[in-house]
Amino acid sequence: MDANQNPTQGDYFVIKAKENGVQVIGLTRGHDTKFHHTEKLDKGEVMLAQFTAHTSAVKIRGKAIVMTKHGVLDTEE
Ligand code: TRP
């Protein structure tokens, strides 16, 4: 069973904000790809989240460190 069917099976990712006002934007799974949630993080705040049945993509605005199973990214580099 994959993340499409079971929301508890999705990959986790971690975002650590390097400045105030970093936005973590969840985009819907399925035919329509729309923003469904925007979370604002201030400097030093950390968010752990999953890809779920409702969330297929995530957009990050601002300076942050992003950790996934694919590696660690700095949005500034
Ligand atoms: N209700 C959303 C969901 O279950 C919550 C969520 C999960 C979310 N992962 C996210 C929101 C990533 C923004 C970014 O899919």
**Distance (Å) of CA 34 to CA 31, 42, 67:** 9, 24, 23
47 lines ligand 1 (CB under 6 A): no
Question: How many whole angstroms from 59 Cα to the centroid of ligand 1?
Answer: 12
The predicted structure's pLDDT at residue 3 = 55
Q: Are 11 and 3 in contact (CB under 8 A)?
A: yes
Residue ranges of domains in the chain: 7-74
Q: List the CATH code of the domain at 7-74.
A: 2.60.40.50
The predicted structure's pLDDT at residue 77 = 87
pLDDT mean by block of 10 residues, the chain; 77 residues: 67 98 98 98 98 96 98 96
55 lines ligand 1 (CB under 6 A): yes
**Nearest-angstrom CA–CA distance, 48 and 28:** 18
